[in-house]
Amino acid sequence: MIWHLVAVFSAGLGAAGIAFLLRSLSGQRLAKWIIPVFAGIGMMSYQIYFEYNWFDHQSTRQPDGVVVTSSQAGQVFWRPWTYFYPITTVFTVVDTNNLQVREAKGLTLVEFIEYRFEKKYIDVVTHQAYVMNCTEAQIIAISDEHQALSKQPRSVDRDSALFLAVCSTSK
């Protein structure tokens, strides 16, 4: 977080320096207000760059064996540019190196943990344990004590990234 703040100020200072240089080269004919305007544009440009690269940056920081299973892009009213090009603010991953595969009554059951990354004012990471029935393409959330958190499992599309990541790597 502190390095991000340093980068924003550096971008603003660099852009203000460019405006100062342009003003000097023009023989002071450019208005004085061009310097803070360039500083603001530089800071906003870095912030927009950072926001749009957050997903790529976070996903490349994941260890080997981690598969991105979903991502959500959306608009935010205080970021009007997101209405033209939505920004990815949430994604989920599964660590395929830590799958626990069990066979029970002819069913292939895989226990795994899904991690959810959210971009807010600070990055938020939450996790939830699940059991995937790969034979019948069903999933159910479980507690830390390995108890089901709902009465009925929900169906999962066999073509979904989650099903493919959990069931195809568990064989």
pLDDT, tens digit (0-9, with 9 covering 90-100), for 28-57: 999 999 999 999 999 999 999 999 999 999
Same domain, 88 and 160: yes
How are the residues of the chain apportioned to helix, strand and coil, as percentages rounded to the nearest 5? 40, 35, 30
Same domain, 46 and 95: no
The tokens describing 130, both together, are 């699940």
Query: Which pTM does this prediction carry?
Result: 0.84
User: Max CA-CA distance within the chain?
Assistant: 84
Q: How many domains would you assign to the chain?
A: 2
Same domain, 88 and 148: yes
Same domain, 69 and 149: yes
Same domain, 98 and 162: yes
**In this structure, are residues 35 and 28 in contact, taking their beta carbons and an 8 Å threshold?**
no
- What is the average pLDDT across 64-83? 92
Give the range of the structural domain holding residue 33, as residue numbers without chain letter: 1-61
pLDDT exceeds cutoff 70 at 148: yes
Backbone angles phi, psi at 122, to 5 degrees: -130, 155
Same domain, 75 and 159: yes
